[in-house]
Amino acid sequence: MIWIVIFAAAVGAGWLTGHGDAAANARAAAEAAPADLLGALVGLTAGLYGRDRARLGRAYASPTLAYLGKRLLLGEAVAAAVYVLSPVTWPRACLDAFAAAAALGGAVWIGNLPARL
């Protein structure tokens, strides 16, 4: 529930402080969406591989890394939402960076979940 508040506050702050074009940001995000979403899903797939290694006993799951990975994934999702929904003047390459960091966060999060929840 707190992530909804953080999301709304971040988008609102983007509207209050931004001086760019929200429609141009949305168009850029729509053009980059297939590649960025594919990259994020590759990260989640890598996380599933890591989780399988922990389940088979070849690696150890770290709840601390899982927590940090989840925070990174959600933080990058909020940052991408600010870019898409607000008139901020960030470069377009930020979307690719957000997707790459979200893929890393998703891989770390899913890969380090304990075998039994």
| pLDDT tens-place string over residues 12-59 | 888 888 888 889 999 999 999 999 999 989 998 998 888 888 778 777
Strands (E), the chain: none
Beta strands in 1-62 (DSSP E): none
| In the chain, where the domains are located | 23-111
pLDDT at 8 over 80: yes
Neighbour-count burial of 82, counting CB atoms closer than 10 A to its CB (0-12 exposed, 13-18 middle, 19+ buried)? buried
Count other C-beta atoms under 10 Å from residue 54's C-beta: 17
Residue 61 confidence (pLDDT): 81
Q: Which amino acid is at 100?
A: A
Task: Note the pTM of the prediction, 2 decimals.
Answer: 0.85
DSSP for 63-113, please give it: HHHHHHHHHHHHHHHHHHHHHHHS-----THHHHHHHHHHHHHHHHHHHTS
**pLDDT for the residue 102:** 94
Kindly indicate the confidence band of residue 117, based on its pLDDT and cuts at 50, 70 and 90: low
